[in-house]
Amino acid sequence: MTASENPMRLTSLLLILLLLGGCAAREQLPDYSTLADRALPATHFETVITARDGTRLSATVFQPALKPGEQAPLVVHTHGWGGWRVTGPDGFYGQQMMSGRAALKAWQAGFWVISYDQRGWGGSDGNIEMMDPRYEVQDALAVIDWAAAHLPRLTMDGPGDPRVGMLGESYGGAVQLLASAEDPRIDAIVPIATWYDLSEALAPGGRMKVGWTGVLLGLGIATGYDLGKFTQASYLKSAGGEMTPDVQAELKSHSLANYCQRGQRPHADALLIQGLRDTLFPLDQGLAIRDCLDQGNADVRLLGMQGGHILPPPLQHWSGLPPFNNEPVLHCGDRAINLYQAVVAWYEDKLRGRSGVADSVPDLCLSLDLDHGLMLQQPPQMDAPQPLPETRIRPLTSGWLSPSRFIPLRQVDNASGLVGTAQLQLQRDANAPLLFASLAVRRAGGRIEVLSEQVTPLNARQVELAAVSALLQPGDELGLKVSGFSGQYLFNSSWSPQSTTLKGEVRLPSLIPLETPLASQ
């Protein structure tokens, strides 16, 4: 088997597993009336939870080992797009996906855990509504209602109000943010690689990330789920490359951005985990979530890992890591943090009341690569604006038939860390052809590297590029890589045969000097 065949075969295996994964749960609720004063063994069982609109949701309940009279908080686990619940300790989601593994570790640490299939996925009834506050969000609250009514020895804050945390990635991360903005019963959340504004994440400036929408739709179709919403005319038209205004408005209304703009913020303590190489929901989405939650009274911390949503080769480099491409250990300066241990410590502190257990989790840690990272209080400030050298580009061929243009902007003299975004103020006409830009570095040996593999369309006069991270060495040259074509934005290229001139100003993120030079891996 060649190296190029490995990712393809793994992808095929994943799709087969997905096809076999979701199944309707059977109601197997134990008779807890006979166990009131006895020890409870660690076990798991299936059940069906009725949502507030009558939809049947399949769920798996993980009962912790409890001594007689002992109580435990609840963690509600929600899966990502195309996925399903953790069906058991040996199931695919619990073994291969980050949030599933973390859910099982929480159970083993003595927490009640409920993992359920969101409506339209797995064994649950209903239609996929793209995180509609009237449906998916209410479903999460119905799961808490069910737990308060049916599970014994839950740690309770009041009648019908269990001590509850939530956990999930991507689609399952967004539901936590919205549910905790709707319901103060939720005390602690761990959203992994999710969105602040779904419309902007899928289509920066209205330009669809067709590479990603193709993967997401393909995953849904391959797994046999009913994606009827996406047969609507407005969604089909968006597949052509430009998001329609009504789809944009709907997806924004299903986002934390909409809640924050009207002052309805989550009050749960939040451990946010976001990916730097995540080209669907990059770091700037996590930073925006952090900014929103910071305006409340919650304890909010953000860990920026390398992994997350990674497109299949050749659109992105395969890391060699399991599905969802998440590394288990994050480096923060001279500290190495196991992400699974951090999640359990968060719940021990925020749900079980073991104050100080989560002190090992920094306020802000941003990965530079798989072996290095920075522990910060705030993201770095931006440098003063500098001129963007005038550059001629032919959109028709640039980036596929001819090389992209590298525009050098800053020489690196000392070992430094770079995290953050670049801002462009462009002099362009309204009808100027579309271009794509990335923050990039030309290494001392001449190799040009697109930082964090992030690409942003230049379709306005003022553009903020997706946030990136990098470990820079003396002799590196920081700049922009610009082209007329991007595989992440298929169908969006202007295909203009006429050359265009890129000019204006640019602000770069300030470099962070490293006291001890770090070897690039």
**What mean pLDDT do residues 325-340 have?**
94
* pLDDT, tens digit, 9 for 90 and up, residues 333-373: 999 999 999 999 999 999 999 999 999 999 999 999 999 99
* pLDDT, tens digit, 9 for 90 and up, residues 61-95: 999 999 999 999 999 999 998 889 999 999 989 99
pLDDT at 233: 81
The CATH 2.60.120 domain(s) of the chain lie at 386-511
Answer with the residue of higher pLDDT: 225 or 412: 412
Quick check: 478 pLDDT over 70?
A: yes
pLDDT at 228: 65
pLDDT at 2: 38
Confidence of residue 13 (pLDDT cuts 50, 70, 90): very low
CATH fold of 13-30+40-376 reads: Rossmann fold (3.40.50)
Q: What is the mean pLDDT of the chain?
A: 91
CB neighbours of 367 closer than 8 A, spacing ≥ 6? 276, 304, 305, 306, 330, 331, 373, 469
pLDDT at 220: 63
pLDDT at 213: 82
Three-state DSSP state, 503: strand
pLDDT at 71: 96
How far apart CA 85 and CA 312 sit, in angstroms, is 24
Quick check: 285 pLDDT over 50?
A: yes
Confidence of residue 152 (pLDDT cuts 50, 70, 90): very high
Answer with the residue of higher pLDDT: 232 or 468: 468
CA angle in degrees (0–180, nearest 5) for 474-384-399:
65
487 sits in the region (left: phi over 0; alpha: psi -120 to 50; else beta) called alpha
pLDDT at 519: 45
**What mean pLDDT do residues 498-517 have?**
90
DSSP string, 241-299: SB--HHHHHHHHHTSHHHHHHTT----SEEEEEEESS-SSS-HHHHHHHHHHHHTTTS-
* pLDDT, tens digit, 9 for 90 and up, residues 157-181: 999 999 999 999 999 999 999 999 9
Separation of first and last alpha carbons in the chain = 26
Q: What are phi and psi of 507, to 5 degrees?
A: -115, 125
Answer with the residue of higher pLDDT: 314 or 101: 101
The CATH 3.40.50.1820 domain(s) of the chain lie at 13-30+40-376
pLDDT at 6: 46
* pLDDT, tens digit, 9 for 90 and up, residues 412-444: 999 999 999 999 999 988 889 999 999 999 998
Three-state DSSP state, 88: coil
CA nearest 115: which of 128, 102, 125? Answer: 102
Quick check: 230 pLDDT over 80?
A: no
pLDDT at 217: 75
Which residue reads 């074509």 in tokens? 485
pLDDT at 337: 96
pLDDT at 225: 66
pLDDT at 17: 45
User: Is CATH 2.60.120 the classification given to domain 386-511?
Assistant: yes
